[in-house]
Amino acid sequence: MHAEESSASPSEPCHVSVMPDEVVQAVAECQPKVIIDGTFGAGGHSRLMLELMDANGSIIGMDRDPAVSARQEAAEQAGQSDPRLSVFLGSYEQSPKALEACDLEKACAMVLDLGLSSDQLADRSRGFSFQHDGPLDLRFDPERGVPASQWMARHSEKEIADAIYQFGEERFSRRIAREVIRRAREGKAVKTVAEMVDVCRRCVPRGKNHDIHPATRTFQALRIAVNDELGILQRTLAHCADWIRPGGVLVVISFHSLEDRLVKHAMRDDQRWEVVTRKPLRPTDAEIETNPRSRSAKLRVAKRL
């Protein structure tokens, strides 16, 4: 999870795309005519990839966040959107439906930037950043599923601890879950960002280097659990070879080891893919300096056989 601050409002995108040059170079190799941008966000990668295409090209943008599709609709109504771009509200797992809606059979490339957008961090009503208080929600789509606060209320101490350990790799997950349940039993259920941060501060000792906020891993874990992020990624990796033409590419940027491990194994173990990046590409020092949230990014590329 990335916790950089931002002063831009959710209606004014402030997100800076990660590893843009590397993404464009990877996609350009297959001379794409149809691209799926599975995590459209503020559209940074898509805008760059449009430059690779002629007037007949198509980019299908997918995003679970209604704020993204609302922004795109406003741009279209104002005549500020490229006609080659179509944005759909939904997970990248639903890419086949979007292709069908555009009368397209398969894509030449699919790009997934699995990081949390700076615009989502800036929206205090969503609870993604533990630097600002607000409801402990953490959903990409506030109209689907349940907020993280309700998710915890519906699960046992063991289930909460297991999720925080599995998805956040937090060693003190059992302490955290115990404290969450204790507060709920006392009629003080954790419902806000500040309350969850307080739980983490009390349960997670500060490391010697103080390089990570005590709530970082727990918030990552709750976000993954609430949004079924790893489930969607696993199912997509299992099927996306069917959505991409031979010679096309799959480009994935991950930000933590759980995601990267899934991507690495899927590309390596599925015989329909040829691994292009034996080791993941990392952002340059110059990019990390100008965009600190890129520092943990790993980019992997596979070619459809």
Binding residues for S-adenosyl-L-methionine are 43-45, 63, 92, 113, 120
Residue with tokens 């507060």: 183
Which parts are annotated binding residues?
A: 43-45, 63, 92, 113, 120
What are the helix and strand counts (H, E) for the chain? 13, 7
CA–CA distances in Å: residue 183 to residues 129, 150, 161, 190? 22, 14, 15, 7
For residues 127 and 136, the answer to whether their CB atoms sit within 8 Å is yes
Q: Which two tokens stand for residue 245?
A: 């033409």
Structure tokens at 188: 């003080």
User: DSSP letters of 257-274?
Assistant: HHHHHHHHHHHHH-TTEE
Residue type, 11: S
**Using CA atoms, how far apart are residues 116 and 182, in angstroms rounded to an integer?**
30
Residue pair 256/233 in contact by the 8 Å Cβ criterion:
no
